[in-house]
Amino acid sequence: MSHLVDTNVLTRLIVLNDPLSQAARAAIDQLQQNGTGLVVTPQNLIEFWAVATRPVEANGLGLSVEKTGEEVARFEEMFRLVDEPPGVFRRWRQLIEDHAVKGKQVHDARLVAIMIESGIDSILTFNADDFHRYPDITVVDPRVFSVRGTPPDQEQGTPAE
């Protein structure tokens, strides 16, 4: 089993004063100890770069390009980088049409398309509601690890972020 680490988890790994930082770290630590494969995609790292370099007053982290580059390099060492398979666009198009996806959520649908085309079955995210519509993936909220130390029983097809 492998988990895609969503961008909102990556962000919490570096913002130590965020209330969800501890849950993100606990989840990553527990999954790595269990031998679970943790992956990121180029899209995750691009989204992270955008958030990290955006000014704080615009809901970003306000990091320099240099610091952001260091964090992206660290993520590439921590997690396996999954290249996007050739069928991603067609799968994405099918998902957004089948599930009537609109607005910013088209980016989440693209992550799901990458997951399906790459054989990644789960996503670790704080935005579970955004993924529940996709029956082919399992959604895992990192907060379950800080409470229990292990993930809850999960059903395939549970609505996701």
Q: For residue 73, what pLDDT is reported?
A: 98
Q: How far apart are CA 107 and CA 4, in angstroms?
A: 14
Q: How far apart are CA 102 and CA 109, in angstroms?
A: 10
CATH 3.40.50.1010 fits 2-147, yes or no: yes
| DSSP-derived pairing of the beta strands 2-5 and 122-124 | parallel
In this model, does residue 39 exceed pLDDT 80?
Answer: yes
Q: For residue 114, what pLDDT is reported?
A: 97
Helix (H) or strand (E) segment spanning residue 80: strand 80-81
Task: Calculate the CA 158 to chain-centre distance.
Answer: 16
How does pLDDT run across 9-31, given as a tens digit for each residue?
Answer: 999 999 989 999 999 999 999 99
How does pLDDT run across 66-82, given as a tens digit for each residue?
Answer: 999 999 999 999 999 99
Q: For residue 160, what pLDDT is reported?
A: 31
Mean pLDDT of the chain: 90
